[in-house]
Amino acid sequence: MERGHRDLTGWIWAVGRVDPDQGDGVWRALSGLLLIHELARTLQLALVLDTPAAEWRFGLALAVLGCLVLWRWRPALACGLTALAVGVQVIWCFPFVANHLFVEALALALVAVAGPERPLGIAGCRWVAVAVLGWSGLQKLLHGTWVQGSFLASAIAMEEGFAQAFAWLLPSGEVAALVARGQPAPGSGEWALGSAAGLAISNGTWLAEILLAALLLKRRTRRWASWAAVALILGVQLGARELFFAGLMTVLLLSFQRAAWLRRLVPVLVVLDAALIASLAGWLPAWTFN
């Protein structure tokens, strides 16, 4: 490198470089998993949206299925075309676009654009995981609703899923009292968790998100931090019940692991996504699909 010139791009490798013998395997598994996930996502939107016409919505799902087949021979192109399909869905849904769509489009685009530079595509997906995890924690802190547990208190009062999950974690009287208060409204008093367990969970959540995102950037800690982050994401689903998003984040977090772990995730993701689609179509009891 010439004197006076600094490498402004080296920071991209702060998420680690995949081992050379793992690069192809991780990239192929990661790209395949993202495509499987996106096929389910496209089917989900085809089932729940009212516009545009059904032939367009299911046609797009068919196109993504075609990309999944194409992946066998031209994986980068398949990911790029699927990223465009996600872009179409963003336009259809705007402004009511879930953040997951942005995450999916970005991950697919990064994997595609990196092309033959597969370690770079993997690094891109790792950064997406770090950004989502870290900023989820930072935003909780910035909005000021997690230090005293005010968001969780309101969520327990408003949503059955949260009340059921926290019935196991908090003193029973606290959950019952919050549920009895009903919908938070002006003049309804202070919304906060009073128990030590509640405050520990509330503050522990955003702290863990920020800390784990930071630990993903350190070589010695990133492998186990990615597992810890997966556990955190799955634990949050006890209340949030966003299984589809949990699947996506698990895929991205496992980009920090060896290819074998990602390959093991394939049948799990296929079964989960199939069950979620079946529940949306009414063939299975309704789950939360988000």
Partner 1 sequence: MCLVVGLLLVWPAVHHAAWRAWHFDAWRFGGFAMYTVPKLAVATGLVGEANGGWVSLVPHELPPGVQDALARQKKFRRALGDLARPDPLARAVLALGGLDGVVVVIKEQHLVGTEVVEETRWYRYSLSGLEDLSSGTDFPQEWR
**186 binds partner 1, rule: CB under 8 A:** yes
Under the binding rule (CB under 8 A), the answer on residue 30 touching partner 1 is no
Write the interaction track for partner 1 spanning residues 153-172; mark x where CB under 8 A is met and - where it is not.
xxx--x--------------
Pick the stretch among 27-35, 72-80, 139-147, 254-262 that binds partner 1 (CB under 8 A): 139-147
**Residue list 85-104, contact with partner 1 (CB under 8 A):** 95-99, 102
Cα–Cα distance for residue pair 63/247, rounded to 1 Å:
22
How far apart CA 218 and CA 205 sit, in angstroms, is 20
Cα diameter, the chain: 69
- 76 in Cβ contact with 115 (< 8 Å): yes
| DSSP-derived secondary structure letter, 11 | G
DSSP 147: S
CA distances from 279 to 18, 73, 85, 242 (A): 37, 32, 23, 14
Residue nearer to partner 1 on the CB measure, 44 or 145 = 145
Site for partner 1 (CB under 8 A): which residue of 82, 150, 250, 257?
150
Q: Output 102 or 227, the one with its CB closest to partner 1.
A: 102
Amino acid letter for position 12: I
Taking the complex as a whole, the smallest distance from the CB of residue 14 to partner 1 amounts, in Å, to: 10
Measure the CA angle with vertex 279, ends 244 and 250; round to 5°: 15
Structure tokens at 139: 């935003």
Structure tokens at 181: 């208060």
Q: Per rule CB under 8 A, is residue 124 in the interface with partner 1?
A: yes
Residue 148 near partner 1 by CB under 8 A: yes
Q: How far apart are CA 90 and CA 105, in angstroms?
A: 9
| Number of neighbouring beta carbons within 10 Å of residue 40 | 25
Q: Name residues contacting partner 1, limited to 196-255 (CB under 8 A).
A: 240
- Piece in contact with partner 1 (CB under 8 A), picked from 47-55, 64-72, 110-118, 164-172: 110-118
Interface ranges with partner 1 (CB under 8 A): 8-9, 11-12, 95-99, 102, 106, 109-110, 113-114, 120, 123-124, 127-128, 131-132, 135-136, 138-140, 142-146, 148, 150-151, 153-155, 158, 183-188, 190-192, 240
